[in-house]
Amino acid sequence: MAAQNNNNNADKVFVVMPETDEDGLSLLSWVLNYFSQDKTKIIITRVTTSPIEELLDIHQMNEFLQMDLVLNKYLQHCVTYKFLAEKLLHKADDIADGIVQVIAKHGINNLAMCSTANSDMTDLASETAIKVRREANLSCKLWFVSDGNLIFTRDPVVNLASTSSGSSSESTIEEGDIDVDASLILMLHETSIKADNLEKMVEEFFGAHKKMAHLVNKLAKNSQQKEQEIRDLKENLEREKQEKDQLRREIEENEHKKIEEIEQITKEIDLLRIQRNEDFNQIQVAHERRLALEEQVSDLEFLVNELCMQKEKMHYVSSTALNSEFSLQELQQATENFSESLKIGEGAFGPVYKGSLRRTTVAIKLLRSQSIQGLSQFQQEITILTKVRHPNLVNLIGACSEVSALVYEYLSNGSLEDRLTCANNTPPLTWYARTRIIGEICLALIFLHSNKPQLVVHGDLKPGNILLDTNLVSKLSDFGISRLLKQTDTNSTAFHKTSRPAGTLSYNDPEYYSTGILTPKSDIYSLGIIILRLLTGKPPMNIARQVEDAMSNDMLSSVIDESAGAWPFEQAKELAKIALRCAEISRSQRPDLVNEVWVVVEPLMKAACTYVELAEESIPPSHFICPIYQEVMKDPCIAADGFTYDAEAIKQWLSTGHNTSPMTNLALPHHDLIPNRVLRSAIHEWLQSHPQS
C-alpha cells in the first residue's frame, strides 16, 4: 500500500465514481479487494458539473436525488464488505478540474478513479485521467482502473520537509511523468496551501446558499406530494376502468355460453332426428328381411330337393370344365391327411391347406360343410374361374367333388392383408409395390366387368382375397359370392338382386347392404377402401373419413404409411383423391372404372415400375465392390490371397501393419499386387453407362 501520511486522510481512500453504475461497481469492487486487509475507510466521491445546492427547479432536484440514491447504493456495498464509508459530492465546471480541486481541498493521500487504457494496456487513454495525473497534488497516490483491472499507478512524491530531515526514502516518479526539481515541488506545495484557503472560502460561500436549498427541498417535497395525489387519482380511475371491462367481459362470456348451449341443444335435436330416421330404416330393412325369410322358408322344401341335383351337376361341371379332377385320397396324401402344420388359412366356408400334388405345390380349399349355401358357392367358384382367365386372377387347377374341395396354384407371399399387417414378421410393402398392386387390381376388375357375354362382379373384394406370388404380383381369389351379370342393353346397368347380401362389411358397398342390389360399382367402392389401406396402412373402419379430414386440413402426409418409404407426395395425393371418389356412399357419385379411375392409376403404375427399373439398374454388380471400402473400385488389384481389392484400400491395409488377408484372415505370403485390368475396364464401361452412380 502507499506510504501513510500523518494527516487525517492517511487512512482514507477517495473513490471517484464514474457516471455509469456498471463502471462504478467495477471500480469499487477493485478498491475493496485491494484494501481488504487494511479496512481503510472509503470516501465515495462524485464530481458533477450539475448544480448541487443551487437547485433551480424540480427536474434538477430529481436528478440530484437520483444521483444520491446511486451513491447510497455504493455506501451499502462498502458496508456489506465491512468497510467504513461516507460520501462526498463536489461541483465543478470540468470533471478533471473538479477531481484536482477535491484532492487539494481535502488533502487527499489516496485516490482511485476509472480510466480507459491504450491498446497494449500500458498507459492511460482517458483525457480526464491524464489531466488528473498531471495536475493533482504530488503528495496524493493515484490508482487508475479499467474494467476492474489496475492499469496505472502514480506514487506520491515525498515533501521537502521529509527530504530535509534526512529520510532515506527517495522521491519516485512513474515513467511517463514530467521531471520536477525541489524548487518546483516547493512552489507546488505553496500553491496547494493557497488552494486550500481558496477552497475554504468557496465552502463558506456555499454555506450561504444552504437555506435556499432547504426551501427548495420543501418545495420539492410539496411537489412530490401533489404528484403522488395525481398518481393515486389516476390509479383509482384505472381501477374503475378495469372493473368495468371485467364486468363487460363477464356479460359477453355469459352471452357466448348461452349461444353455445342453444347450438348444443340444436345439434342434439338434429342427432335425435337422424337417429329416428336410422331406426325407421332399420325397422324397414328388418321387415323386408322377415319377408325374405318367410319366402326362404316356403322355398326350403324345393331347395332340399334340388340339393341332390346340384351335387350331381357340380360333379359334371368340375369333371368337364376343369383341367383335373382329383380324388380324396390324392388330397389326403398331398396334405398329410389335412395336417394342421400345412394349414395356411381359414376362409368363410372352410380351411385352406398347402400341399404337393402331382409334383406341383398347390393350395387346397376344403368346404367345411355340405350346406346349400356352401355348395352353391363351390359351384359358383368353379363356374366363374373356368370361364375367365387373366394374369391377375388366381388360377384354378382342379377340384375334388367327393369332399367339395378346390385346388389352386400356390402363391408364396400369402394375402395382401398379411403383408399390410406384416404377418410373420414379413417386411412392409414399398410404395412402388403398393402402386403396382393398385394398378393390377384395376386391370383385373376392368377385365371382369367387361367380360363377354356376361360380366363378372366379384362382390367380396378385400385384401384377404388378394393373393401375392413370389414377385408380389397380385391375383384376385375367392369368387364364391361373385355373380355373372347379363346386360340387357348398352344404356342399362347390369345388376344382381338378392335378399341376403353377403361379403365383408368394412369393404362392401353400403347401397348393396341396404338394397340388396349388386353392380360393378360395388367393386369400385371396395377398390377405394383398398387403395386407402395401401396408402395409410390403417384399418378399414372409418378410413375414408380419416383421409378426407386430413386432406381438408392439408395434412395428408400425417396419415401416409411411413413404412412404405418416401412415397412421392403428388402421387399419393392423386391416389387419395380417386380412392375417396370410389368410396362415395352414393353409387351414382362413384367414378367410371375405365374412363376415370384407370386414367389416374395407369400413369402412376408406370412411374412406379420405371422407378424400380432405374433403381435396379443403378445397383453395381457385386464383384465391382471393394471388400474393404464397400464401394465401386477405382483401381482393382489382385492380392496374394487371390481376392481383388481397390489398390488404395489394400495398400492402406498393409501399411497399417496387417500381414493377413482381409477376407480369410490367413497370413499373406507376400505384399505384391497385380493390376486387374480386365475388371478395371469393365468397371469403367459400367460407370460410363451409369453416370448417376
In this structure, the dihedral spanned by the alpha carbons of residues 248, 251, 255 and 256, taken in order and rounded to 10 degrees, is: 60
Tell me the C-alpha to C-alpha distance, in Å, between residue 529 and each of 85, 504, 519, 582, 613. 87, 12, 17, 8, 29
pLDDT at 63 over 70: yes
Comparison of pLDDT for 210 and 265, the residue scoring more: 265
Comparison of pLDDT for 177 and 589, the residue scoring more: 589
In 3D space, the residue among 498, 384, 493, 503 whose CA is nearest the CA of residue 444 turns out to be 384
Block residue for cell numbers 467504513: 84
- At 168, the pLDDT band (50, 70, 90 cuts) reads very low
What is the rounded CA–CA span in Å between residue 94 and residue 50? 10
What is the rounded CA–CA span in Å between residue 351 and residue 355? 13
In 3D space, the residue among 329, 409, 325 whose CA is nearest the CA of residue 365 turns out to be 409
Chain centre to alpha carbon of residue 145: 52
What is the rounded CA–CA span in Å between residue 594 and residue 577? 16
Tell me the C-alpha to C-alpha distance, in Å, between residue 326 and each of 322, 380, 453, 658. 10, 19, 30, 66
Block residue for cell numbers 367380360: 451
CB contact set of 57 (below 8 Å; sequence gap of 6+): none
Q: Is 11 considered catalytic here? A: no
DSSP for residue 555: -
What is the rounded CA–CA span in Å between residue 45 and residue 65? 15
pLDDT single digits (tens) 328-367: 999 999 999 999 999 988 876 789 999 998 888 999 998 8
Residue 296, C-alpha cell as written in the block = 326362404
Using CB atoms within 10 Å of the CB of residue 519, give its burial: 0 to 12 exposed, 13 to 18 middle, 19+ buried.
Answer: buried
Enumerate domains of the chain plus CATH numbers: 12-208 (3.40.50.620), 322-410 (3.30.200.20), 413-616 (1.10.510.10), 622-689 (3.30.40.10)
Residue-by-residue DSSP string for 200-223: HHHHHHHHTTHHHHHHHHHHHHHH
Measure CA of the first residue to CA of the last residue in the chain; give whole Å. 78
In 3D space, the residue among 51, 35, 53, 52 whose CA is nearest the CA of residue 43 turns out to be 35
Least confident of 201-205, 532-536, 557-561: 201-205
What is the rounded CA–CA span in Å between residue 118 and residue 126? 9
Comparison of pLDDT for 563 and 300, the residue scoring more: 563
Residue 664, C-alpha cell as written in the block = 480369410
Comparison of pLDDT for 322 and 93, the residue scoring more: 93
What is the rounded CA–CA span in Å between residue 376 and residue 370? 10
Residue 556, C-alpha cell as written in the block = 395428408
What is the rounded CA–CA span in Å between residue 521 and residue 593? 8
User: Quick check: 487 and 356 in contact, CB under 8 A?
Assistant: no
- At 141, the pLDDT band (50, 70, 90 cuts) reads very high
Which residue of the set 418, 460, 509, 523 is catalytic? 460
What is the rounded CA–CA span in Å between residue 39 and residue 84? 8
CB hemisphere CA count around 472 (13 angstroms): 20
pLDDT single digits (tens) 270-298: 888 888 888 778 888 877 777 767 666 65
Least confident of 113-122, 428-437, 455-464, 607-616: 607-616
Sheet of 396-400: strand order equals: 324-325, 396-400, 405-409, 360-366, 350-357, 343-347
What is the bridge-based pairing of β-strands 396-400 and 405-409?
antiparallel
Tell me the C-alpha to C-alpha distance, in Å, between residue 461 and each of 93, 95, 457, 635. 101, 97, 9, 56
Least confident of 155-169, 322-336, 594-608: 155-169
User: Quick check: 575 and 535 in contact, CB under 8 A?
Assistant: yes
pLDDT single digits (tens) 524-536: 999 999 999 999 9
User: Quick check: 510 and 526 in contact, CB under 8 A?
Assistant: no
3-state secondary structure of 643: coil
pLDDT single digits (tens) 309-323: 445 444 444 444 455
- At 575, the pLDDT band (50, 70, 90 cuts) reads very high
For residues 196-216, give the mean pLDDT. 60
Block residue for cell numbers 394398378: 439
Phi, psi of 83 (to 5 degrees): -110, 140
What is the rounded CA–CA span in Å between residue 480 and residue 595? 28
Comparison of pLDDT for 9 and 242, the residue scoring more: 242
For residues 367-394, give the mean pLDDT. 76
Mean pLDDT computed over every residue of the chain: 81
pLDDT single digits (tens) 23-36: 889 999 999 999 98
User: Quick check: 135 and 100 in contact, CB under 8 A?
Assistant: yes
Ramachandran bin of 483, using left for φ above 0, alpha for ψ from -120 to 50, beta for the remaining angles: beta
What is the rounded CA–CA span in Å between residue 485 and residue 261? 54
* CB atoms closer than 10 angstroms to residue 580: 17
DSSP for residue 500: S
For residues 389-406, give the mean pLDDT. 88
| pLDDT score recorded for residue 446 | 93
One-letter amino acid identity for 135? E
Comparison of pLDDT for 499 and 389, the residue scoring more: 389
What is the rounded CA–CA span in Å between residue 611 and residue 55? 88
